[in-house]
Amino acid sequence: MSGGRFLTGEFFMLGDEACAEGAIAAGCRFFAGYPITPATEIAERMSRRLPEVGGTYIQMEDELASMAAVLGASWAGVKAMTATSGPGFSLMMENLGLGIMLETPCVLVNVQRGDPSTGLPTLVGQGDMMQARWGSHGHYEIIALAPSSPQELFDLTIRAFNLSEKYRTPVLVMTDAEVGHMTEKVRIPPPEEIEIYPRRKATVPPEEYLPFQPGEDLVPPMACAGEGYRFHVTGLTHDERGYPVINAEAQERLIRRLIEKIRKNKDDIIEVEEDGLEDAEVVVCSYGIAARAALWPIELARRAGIKVGYLRLITVWPFPEERIRELARRVKAFVVPEINYGQIALEVERCAAGQAEVILVPHAGGDIHDPERVLEAIRRAAQ
């Protein structure tokens, strides 16, 4: 059923559409994007739904302009997002870095497809996971979430907006074509049941306001255009006023804070799903659709008496290093199925630090893993 302009109830819904509804439920009122398979359905849904809730949809001339428009809308006081796939994600990287430097809350959804280049526009891939971490130039921290169902695309899009406002930073939703184009039941709760993190507004008089003066948690309050505050924003290294300061001391002070505001709050940001890890000798570690494809092989292995556990990365960045290190001290091996030729597996290997074997189950893309290949890797790891 529909509650006026807002949906509530249970729906048989496409993952991309669930993402759009999650954004609206989170308070998103601006979307700028450019059509690209398999993310176009997010833009299509937002083009219809945003006018119904008093929001604005703009189809931009390309992905560079889309990300720029999202940053501008956020600085104007509106929760904003965009959605794309691999080629568009590449084009958004420069302005993603600008958003990080300007501490601009917004959400960028990447519905991953087979790649590189134009690749497989309509078929699945997970090849953008390292680009999500290091795609823009320079050193920075990023938050990236990986849904594995349409329900999670709804839920984690809301969480992405909340994290973006809480830590004043762009947040990525790294889904994939299978999840985005999957149709399943999605429950949309009433608005009063949805937790929304509000924008951190400035509380001091305009004459005392410094746009980049951090609070105790290293996150500055944010005044927006039209609220009577004077502010200056620039991608150059800047001081707490926002004015450029071109020296090593200012660089150290600013970049360290941008990094530490994420690192020091990892426990609040990182989320994983675990099952059967108490006595596990083998751990299957995966994310997105690849994690779902691993469930049946895990069940078959358990029936055969193999002690195998399941660790699904809901937050991929920041990476759950401490949990991987802890498990590596007491398990034989990690099995990492992913639809690429080894990206997150390298992070697992780094954290395992030789204490446990790491077995990658790679897949170039186009479809999901053959369950038999994952089962064979589990058997090999248990030997």
Q: What is the mean pLDDT of residues 89-112?
A: 98
Q: Based on the domain organization, do 25 and 164 belong to the same domain?
A: yes
What is the spatial distance between Cα 179 and Cα 15, in angstroms, rounded to a whole number? 6
> Residue 277: which residues within 8 A CB-CB, separation 6 or more?
283, 309, 310, 311, 327
Q: Where does a domain end: 177, 193, 209?
A: 193
Last residue of a domain, one of 149, 173, 193: 193
Q: What is the pLDDT of residue 5?
A: 78
Tell how many helices (H) and how many strands (E) occur in the chain.
14, 17
175 & 277 share domain: no
Structural domain for 129, as ranges: 2-193
Token pair of 13, please? 């819904």
Q: How many CB atoms are closer than 10 A to CB 189?
A: 12
Residue 312 sits in a domain whose CATH number is 3.40.50.920
pTM of the model: 0.97
CATH number at residue 168: 3.40.50.970
Residue 152 maps to a domain? yes
CB 347 within 8 A of CB 358: no
CA–CA distance, 330 with 289 (Å, rounded to integer): 27
Q: Are residues 179 and 56 in the same domain?
A: yes
**115-124, 227-236, 253-262: range with lowest mean pLDDT:** 227-236
14 forms beta bridges with 183
> Residue 187's pLDDT band (boundaries 50, 70, 90)?
very high
* 229 within a domain of the structure (yes/no): no
Residue 126 lies in a domain: yes
At which of 171, 193, 215 does a domain end? 193
Residue 383 has pLDDT above 90, yes or no: yes
Asked if pLDDT for residue 3 goes beyond 80, the answer is: no
Sign of CA pseudo-dihedral 278, 284, 289, 294: negative
Q: How many domains does the chain fold into?
A: 2
DSSP 100-150: HHHT--EEEEEEEEE-STT-EEEEE--TTHHHHHH-SSS----EEE---SH
The residue type of 99 is G
| Residue 185 and residue 317 in one domain | no
